[in-house]
């Protein structure tokens, strides 16, 4: 273990060996990295633990650089915090285009990635918990996909939890990926309409950029091919509290005059590349739809198939260009060099028909763990109706439904969201 300090915080690095397949605990092991954080003035105190599970899938835990960032300082008032890089992310054993060929071909890679869903993540957490807490249960804070993991935790190992706090992450318990995206596209359309209402000048700009891309298909630094469909996927920004403003500022200076006429600026292309590339989080693209897989039906590129039911999202449709949101498509594995070598692997994952069940509805109905969930009223990423149905299925769960925040309320709201959830599980309000 290595310990070091930030202003007001003591950090300790932990590395654990966990089974790739928890059904075979003596088999292949992978490494799990986690960062412990405690307020400096409480470094030697016996504090309860809070386990933070990042959204995703495919993202490592936050790297906080100061005590006052987002929810972090509020958590440090009461807890010793563990920031886990879920398997395959961050400083844990990586899973990407460079490392996956070590597994073999696409079939072996797909089989390996079948162990990277929330069921395995929860087993990882339960394996390391006794090593850190001495066997005591801990509080879990799950953001977005981290909330999906928290619901799996309540289904599979509630004895490991003293409380569960969920933000923007109550999943459908039994819905197929098709159902998820069939509900998602109308929400995305509302966010796009609201953006154009706020910034009507972007209607023409977006169309101008799309027309330019249709003709030129520029290749960005590193080999990313910027197609119209890829440009439309910048709509993922609209799910955040300041995302509409980010998108507008990106579009407003897209073109520069050149001897060959107006061209997309290097600055614009660089920002687009940073927003769209999966180089830093390839697991997000590879296993995104599999987080909904629970029965014999394959996910089968659900977002792509369901998109055909909403022709307004076609680039050639009349009216303002429709941006898309949190969805993964086969073309991602053609335009992005970080994903291109993994196309066959992704196809095999999309075709899989034997995903294990993730949620135990009987156990959730008998839940005794205090649970509170922030449900964002028009969350672009997670359907509010699904969230509320799930909330009613978990005994004792208390919801806070709010339109004050978008999906990133835990970050954007500073300490307020965590403060509210803690008050709910402690019956203070």
Burial class (CB in 10 A: 0-12, 13-18, 19+), 138: buried
Q: Dihedral of CA 138/141/146/150: which sign?
A: positive
pLDDT at 6: 87
- What distance in Å separates the CA atoms of residue 30 and residue 176, rounded to the nearest whole number? 30
* 218-266 confidence digits (pLDDT tens): 999 889 999 999 999 999 999 999 999 999 999 999 999 999 999 999 9
CB atoms within 10 A of CB 406: 22
Q: At what angle do helices 266-276 and 243-252 cross, to 10 degrees?
A: 150
pLDDT at 65: 83
- What distance in Å separates the CA atoms of residue 51 and residue 123, rounded to the nearest whole number? 14
pLDDT at 56: 94
Specify the 3-state DSSP secondary structure of 388: helix
CATH 3.40.50.1820 fits 2-174+359-425, yes or no: yes
Helices (H), 91-176: 106-113, 118-133, 145-156
pLDDT at 325: 87
How far the first Cα of the chain sits from its last, in Å, is 40
- Spans of all domains in the chain: 2-174+359-425, 177-351
pLDDT at 181: 97
Point out the residues of the chain with pLDDT beneath 70: 67
DSSP states along 276-321: H--TT-HHHHHHTGGGG--SSS---SHHHHHHTT-GGGSTTSSSSP
pLDDT at 357: 96
User: Which residues does the annotation mark as catalytic?
Assistant: 144, 354, 407
- What distance in Å separates the CA atoms of residue 160 and residue 53, rounded to the nearest whole number? 15
- What distance in Å separates the CA atoms of residue 237 and residue 22, rounded to the nearest whole number? 36
pLDDT at 221: 81
* 299-314 confidence digits (pLDDT tens): 999 999 999 999 999 9
């Amino acid at each position: 273990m290595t310990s070091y300090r930030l202003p007001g915080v003591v950090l300790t690095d932990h590395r654990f060996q966990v089974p790739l397949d928890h059904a075979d605990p003596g088999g292949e092991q992978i490494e799990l990295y986690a960062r412990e954080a405690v307020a400096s003035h409480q470094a030697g105190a016996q504090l309860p633990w809070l386990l933070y599970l990042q959204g995703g899938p495919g993202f490592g835990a936050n790297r906080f650089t100061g005590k006052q960032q987002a929810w972090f300082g509020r958590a440090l008032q009461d807890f010793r915090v563990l920031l886990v890089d879920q398997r395959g992310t961050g400083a844990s054993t990586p899973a990407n285009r460079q490392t996956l060929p070590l597994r073999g071909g696409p079939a072996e890679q797909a089989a390996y990635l079948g162990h990277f869903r929330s069921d395995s993540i929860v087993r990882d957490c339960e394996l390391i918990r006794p090593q850190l807490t001495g066997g005591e249960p801990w509080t879990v804070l799950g953001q977005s996909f981290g909330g999906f993991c928290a619901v799996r935790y309540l289904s599979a190992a509630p004895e490991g939890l003293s409380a569960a706090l969920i933000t923007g992450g109550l999943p459908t318990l039994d819905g197929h990926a098709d159902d998820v995206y069939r509900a998602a596209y109308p929400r995305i359309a509302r966010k796009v309409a609201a953006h154009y209402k706020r910034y009507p000048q972007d209607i023409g700009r977006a169309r101008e950029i799309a027309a330019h891309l249709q003709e030129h298909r520029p290749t960005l630094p590193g080999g990313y091919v910027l197609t119209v469909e890829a440009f439309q996927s910048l709509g993922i920004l609209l799910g955040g509290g300041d995302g509409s403003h980010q998108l507008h500022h990106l579009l407003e200076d897209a073109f520069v005059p050149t001897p060959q006429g107006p061209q997309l600026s290097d600055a614009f292309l660089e920002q687009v590349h940073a927003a769209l590339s999966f180089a830093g989080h390839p697991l997000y693209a590879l296993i995104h739809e599999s987080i909904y897989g629970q029965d014999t039906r394959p996910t089968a590129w659900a977002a792509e198939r369901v998109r055909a039911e909403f022709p307004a999202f076609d680039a050639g449709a009349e009216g303002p260009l429709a941006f898309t949101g949190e969805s993964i498509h086969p073309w991602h594995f053609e335009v992005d060099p970080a994903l291109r070598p993994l196309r066959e692997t992704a196809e095999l994952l999309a075709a899989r028909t034997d995903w294990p069940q993730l949620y135990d509805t009987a156990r959730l109905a008998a839940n005794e763990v205090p649970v509170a969930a922030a449900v964002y009223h028009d969350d672009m990423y997670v359907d509010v109706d699904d969230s509320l149905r799930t909330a009613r299925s978990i005994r004792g769960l208390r919801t806070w439904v709010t339109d004050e925040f978008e999906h990133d309320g835990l970050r954007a709201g500073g300490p307020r969201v965590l403060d509210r959830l803690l008050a709910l599980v402690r019956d203070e309000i």
